[in-house]
Amino acid sequence: MNSQTWMSLSEKYVAHTYNRYSLVLVKGKGTRVWDVEGKEYLDFVSGLAVCNLGHCHPRVVKAIQAQAETLIHVSNFFYITPQIELASLLCKHSFADKVFFCNSGAEANEGAIKLARKYAREKMQGDRYEIITMERSFHGRTLATLTATGQEKFHKGYAPLVPGFKYVPFDDVDAVRKAIDGKTCAILIEPIQGEGGVNCPSEGYLKSLREICDESGILLIFDEVQVGMGRTGKLFAYEHYDMEPDILTLAKSLAGGVPIGAFLTREKVVEAFKPGDHASTFGGNPLATAAGVAAVSAILEEGMLENCEKVGEHFLARLEEMKKKFPFVQTVRGKGLILGMELKMDGGNIVKEMMQRGFLINCTMGNVLRFLPPLIVTKQEVDQLIEALEDVLQRVQ
Ligand SMILES: Cc1ncc(COP(=O)(O)O)c(C=O)c1O
């Protein structure tokens, strides 16, 4: 079947909740994907920061094959060996003592929100349940996580929202201080905002949040669903900022493309959850966690963090050169291989033009071109993209 036939069938049978590009992708390898007609694309979207290892990484493929032949699923009533391995790997390489597994970023944040409330009820004075989140944040599409998301466009039509969230501007320490009161139990923040336009914190901001949380005895939750797993050049983004959160959420790339979510935390926090307080049927299932062990090991052992840092610096420098050439480029920003180029106009057509030239990129907030290539991308591939992008931008001037 050709693209047209697949797209017609999709329109007929699949709920129309996505505005899709006219592209049917059927194959991926490393930094490349192919459509049903065989056209090749360099992928700077990576399934929205899911395929950090590149498509179909051999270690992940092998782990999935081996686990699928052995044990695909058992209930969390029983001990699950790859789940134990993945949890110990994550704890070994982070601040955390314990991991809870689930299936998506929203579910990881939902769990973190529940844990913060439960912890507050058990360990804090008074009735504390409110969570401070940031304007322009994105935390997921379940009712609690979309309420946590500080962007009104995601709230429309879903009232009444979940009570207990308060929004403050990102990167504003005083606003956080002012927002904390006797009801606050936690701050939830993406260390770098992804969907909100690749917004990076100023020097010292995240460390100040840590201090504020310590002073007020509230929890600091980092949503690293998009920026975790090596995306910024370190396994976890918090490692750049000389501080540690109390809870950290992950999903997307944690299992190299297999659906998974998790939150990592300390013993003293997670002990607020007793058996039966929180659960997920598929959470930490053998197939997903076996893929996770392979994915995390590959990120750590195959030089991906080093490549991300090195190629990310080159990429940012090339984007900065472009900013000087095109007056409608407002800013370029990011860390490692999550990079954004803010335009003074809509970026939708640029994404389509790039696609025609064989490059997948994304646009968020309407005017921020976002680049999320696999962490194995080369300088040469970045240069190819820059050349194509310059050509496209020249035409739109
Ligand atoms: C920072 C962040 N948190 C949470 C989510 C939600 O993750 P999921 O779509 O897996 O529920 C996303 C998705 O883009 C995200 O970028």
Q: Is the peptide bond before 373 cis (omega within 30 degrees of 0)?
A: no
Catalytic choice (223, 234, 236, 371): 223
Structure confidence at residue 304 (pLDDT): 98
**Is 242 a residue of the active site?**
no
The Å distance, Cα 134 to ligand 1 centre, comes to 15
Ranges of H-type helices in the chain: 3-13, 46-49, 58-70, 81-92, 105-123, 143-148, 173-179, 205-216, 267-270, 286-301, 304-325, 348-356, 379-396
Protein residue whose Cα sits closest to atom 8 of ligand 1: 105
- Express each pLDDT in 237-283 by its tens digit: 999 999 999 999 999 999 999 999 999 999 999 999 999 999 999 99
Protein residue whose Cα sits closest to atom 3 of ligand 1: 139
Average pLDDT, integer, range 119-128: 95
| Model confidence at 318: pLDDT above 90 | yes
**Is 138 a residue of the active site?**
yes
Ligand 1 atom with the smallest distance to the CA of 227 is 1
- Express each pLDDT in 76-100 by its tens digit: 999 999 999 999 999 999 999 999 9
What's the token pair of residue 335? Answer: 């860390």
Q: pTM of the prediction?
A: 0.98
| Model confidence at 397: pLDDT above 80 | no
Cα–Cα distance for residue pair 20/27, rounded to 1 Å: 18
CB-based pocket (< 6 A), ligand 1: 48, 104-106, 109, 138-140, 190, 194-195, 223, 225-226, 251
Task: Evaluate whether 291 touches 284 at the Cβ level (below 8 Å).
Answer: no
Please give the DSSP secondary-structure letter assigned to residue 161.
P
- Express each pLDDT in 325-345 by its tens digit: 999 999 999 999 999 999 999
Please give the DSSP secondary-structure letter assigned to residue 66.
H
CA distances (Å), 257 to each of 145, 228, 261, 287, 290, in order? 22, 14, 11, 12, 12
Task: Evaluate whether 287 touches 73 at the Cβ level (below 8 Å).
Answer: yes
**Is 223 a residue of the active site?**
yes
Residue 397 C-alpha from the chain's centroid: 32
The Å distance, Cα 26 to ligand 1 centre, comes to 24
Ligand 1 atom with the smallest distance to the CA of 252 is 10
Catalytic choice (44, 100, 138, 371): 138
What's the token pair of residue 158? Answer: 């879903």
Average pLDDT, integer, range 36-42: 98
Structure confidence at residue 396 (pLDDT): 84
Catalytic choice (35, 252, 315, 335): 252
Protein residue whose Cα sits closest to atom 16 of ligand 1: 226
The Å distance, Cα 138 to ligand 1 centre, comes to 7
- DSSP letter for each residue of 272-301: TS-TTSS--SSTT-HHHHHHHHHHHHHHHH
Average pLDDT, integer, range 359-367: 98
